[in-house]
Chains A and B, each alone.
Chain A
Amino acid sequence: MGKNRRSPQRGQAKPQAKGYLFDRPGSVRKLLRSFYGALAFLLVLDFLVHKHALFPWEEWPEFYATYGFVACVVLVVVAKYVLRPVVMKREDYYDR
C-alpha cells in the first residue's frame, strides 16, 4: 500500500516536528519513485503472463492499466467539471 503520499507542504511547518515519516526530507520523493518503479514493473509483467480471458479485449496489451487510468481521469473530470457545477450549493442551502 504505497499510494498515500503527502503533497508538498506550505507554511506552518511544525518546528518541533519529531521526524514523522513523511516530514523527513525526500521521503515523499522516494515513495513516488518506488511507486513509478512498481508501475513500470507491472507494465513489463503484462507481456510475460499468459492470459485466459473471457472477452477478447482482456488480451490486448496493457488493457487493465489503460482502463484503470482512463476511467479515473474521466471520473474526476466529469465529477469536477460536469457534476459539481450542477449540484454544489452552500452548506446552509437547506436551512435557509
Chain B
Amino acid sequence: MTGSLPPFLIFVAGALLVPFFRGKWKGAYLLAIPVIGFWNLIHVPQGTHWIVAFLDYQLVLGRVDRLSLIFGYIFHLISFIAILYALHVKEDLQHMSGLTYAGSALGVTFAGDFFTFFVFWELLTVSSIFLIWARRTEAALGAGFRYLLVHAAGGLCLLAGIVIHVSQTGSIQFGYLGLNGLGTYLIFIGFGLNCAWPILHPWLTDAYPEATITGTVFLSAFTTKLAVYALARAYPGTEALIWIGAVMTGFPIFYAVIENDLRRVLAYSLINQVGFMVCGIGIGTQLAINGAVCHAFSHILYKALLFMSMGAVMYRTGKINGTDLGGLYRTMPLTCIFCMVGAASISAFPLFSGFVSKAMVMDAAAQGGMQAVWFILLFASAGVFHHSGIKIPYFAFFSHDSGLRPKEAPLHMLLAMGLAAFLCIFIGSFPGYLYQLLPYPVEYVPYTTPHILAQTQLLFFSALAFTLLLLSGIYPAEMRCINLDVDWFYRKGARLFYVLTDRSLNRINEACDGFFFRDLTGVLFRASKEAAVRFVLFFLVSFWLLTGVRGRRLEMKKMNAYQDMMRGTLPVGIGAAAACLFILLVYGLV
C-alpha cells in the first residue's frame, strides 16, 4: 500500500462535491482536481496497489506499470485542458459527468482485474451520455439514446466474454489474453466497439458531433483511447488488428472529404487516427506498441485541440457546417492559429507531435515487410492531411467570406487551446521527453533527413492536389446533406423492425382479441345461459304436463318462463325450485 489514493477516486469524489462550490471558487476547484490527481499519481510507485477482497476474489484497483502510467498521465493532462476549456459552463451536471467520465477512464486504466475493469468500463458509458444529452436538442437526445443502446450491446458482449473467460480459467486477472476460445473473441469485440472498429463505428460519428461544445472535447479523449489501452494490454500482436487498423485508417477519410458538419469531419478523422494505433498493436513489436501508445498520447492532445477550435467557432457563431462558415481568420486569429497547429500535428508535419509518433507505426509496418498495410497507412497519412489538415482550417477560417465577424474565443478557451497547442509543438520538437515514458525502451530517431523530406514531400504534394482540385472546381463543394453510414442499418432497420412487429404481432393480437374476447366469450356466454334455461324448462314442462296444463296455456307458460329466465326476472320461488331440482338431479346422478 502507498500513502496515495486510487486515481479514479479523486475524480469521482471530486465530481460529487461540485454542487457545493459557487462562482469563481468553482472554477478553481474544478481545475484543482486534475492537478491534485496528477500530484497523487506521480507519487504512486509502480506495482500492484489497493487490493480489495470481494466475495472469493481479490480486486486490484491499482495495477501501476509503464503502460497504465502513460495513459494515466495523458488522461490527467487532458482533463485539466478540457476543464479549463469548459469553465464558462454554468451547469453542474456537465462538470460532474465530465469528471466522472475522466475518473472512470482512470479506473479502467489502473484496473488489474476484470471485475473492476468492467464496472468502470460501464460507468464510462453512463457518465459520458450526459455530455451528449446536455446539448438539449432533439438530435442530441436521439444520438444519445443510440449511443447508449450500442454501448449497452457492446458491454453485454464484453460481459459475456468475461464470464466465459473467468469460468474457464478461474482467474479474474486482467492481462494478456490473445485470441483463443469464445470468451476472448467476445471480449475482443467488446473492446472493438469502444474502439470504433469499422462497422461497429457509427456510434462515434453519430454522437460526438451532437454533444455539447465542451462535452465533445472530453469524449474525443477517453473512450476510444481507453479501448486502445485495453487492446494493447490484452491483444498485442494479434494479426487481425493489423487489418482492422488499416481499414480504420482508410475508409473514414472518404467520408471526411464529403462531410459538411466540421465536427463530424473530425469524428471521422478520429477513427482514422485510432486506426494507426490499432494497427500498431496488431503488429505487436516493441517499436509498434511504443508507436501506438505514443500516437495515442499525442493524438489525444491534437484531436482535443481541433475539437476545441471548432467548439470555439461554434460557441461564437452558433454554426458548425462548412456551408455556413468561412473567413473567420479575420476576427478569430488566435483560434485560427491554434486550429492550424492542431491541423499540422494531426497531419504529422515535422516539428509537430504527429510526426514523432505516427512514423513509429509506419516504420514498424515497414520493418515487418507489410507492403499492403504500409501503402494503406501512407495513403491515410496523405488523406488525413487533406481533410483534417487543410479542410478544417480552410472551410472554417478561410474559404469564402461568410460575412460572420464573431469575437475571438473567450480567454479560458484560448488558454486551453494555447496549452494544447504548446504541448503539440513541444512533443514534436522534443520527442525525447515523451519517448522516456513509453512502455519499452525507444531507439527510434524521428528526425532524419530522408524522413523529414519524405514526409514534407508527401504533405506538400497533397496540398498541391487540394489546391489544383479546388481551383479547377473538381473539389466537392460543401453541401447541406447527411451521408449515410452503417448506422443506417439500425436507424432505418429499427423503424422497419417496428413496422414489421406492428404489422405482425399487433395483427395476431387483434385476431386473438376478436376471437377469444368478443366471439368466443359471447358464444360461451349465450350457450351456457341457454343450456341452463332449456334444462330448467324441460323440468318445468314435464311438471306442467303432469299437472294437466295443455294447449295454448302451456305455450303461454313456457314462453313467459323462458323470457323471465333469459331476463333474469324469475320469481324467487321458481328459481329456488329450479335450484332444488338441479341439486336433486345431481345428487341422484352421483
Contact = CB atoms under 8 A, between A and B. Distances in A.
A75 B330 contact: no
Interface in A45-78: 45-46, 49-55, 58, 62-69, 71-73, 75-78
Contact of A4 (B394, B453, B476): B394
B450 A50 contact: yes
B465 interface: yes
A75 to B, nearest CB: 5
Tell which of A21, A67, A88, A89 has the most Cβ of chain B within 10 Å. A67
A49 B459 contact: no
B470 interface: yes
A46 B465 contact: no
B386 to A, nearest CB: 5
B450 to A, nearest CB: 5
A64 B374 CA distance: 13
Interface string A73-90: 101111110011011111
Contacts of B398: 4-6, 22
B135 to A, nearest CB: 17
Interface residues of B, number: 64
B500 interface: no
Interface stretch (B429-437, B481-489, B502-510, B561-569): B481-489
A93 B482 contact: yes
B460 A68 contact: yes
Interface in A4-21: 4-7, 9, 12-14, 20-21
A83 B344 contact: no
Nearest to B378: A67
Contacts of A91: 480-482
Given A4-B397, A68-B382, A68-B462, A76 B482 contact: no
Contacts of A69: 461-462, 464-465
Contacts of B397: 4
A3 interface: yes
B253 interface: yes
A72 B340 CA distance: 20
B467 interface: yes
Given A72-B382, A88-B481, A94-B492, 14 more contacts: A3-B467, A42-B456, A42-B457, A54-B367, A67-B378, A67-B458, A71-B383, A72-B386, A73-B465, A78-B254, A83-B258, A87-B255, A87-B484, A91-B480
Interchain residue pairs A-B with the least CB separation, the first 8: A72-B465, A68-B461, A54-B366, A68-B458, A79-B257, A80-B476, A64-B457, A69-B461
14 contacts: A7-B470, A9-B401, A20-B330, A39-B460, A39-B461, A55-B374, A58-B454, A64-B458, A68-B460, A75-B253, A78-B254, A87-B485, A91-B481, A94-B492
Interface of A: 1, 3-7, 9, 12-14, 20-23, 32, 35, 38-39, 42, 45-46, 49-55, 58, 62-69, 71-73, 75-80, 83-84, 86-91, 93-94
Interface of B: 253-255, 257-258, 327, 329-330, 340, 343-344, 349, 363, 366-367, 371, 374, 378-379, 382-383, 386, 390, 393-394, 397-401, 403, 448-450, 453-467, 469-471, 474-476, 479-485, 491-492
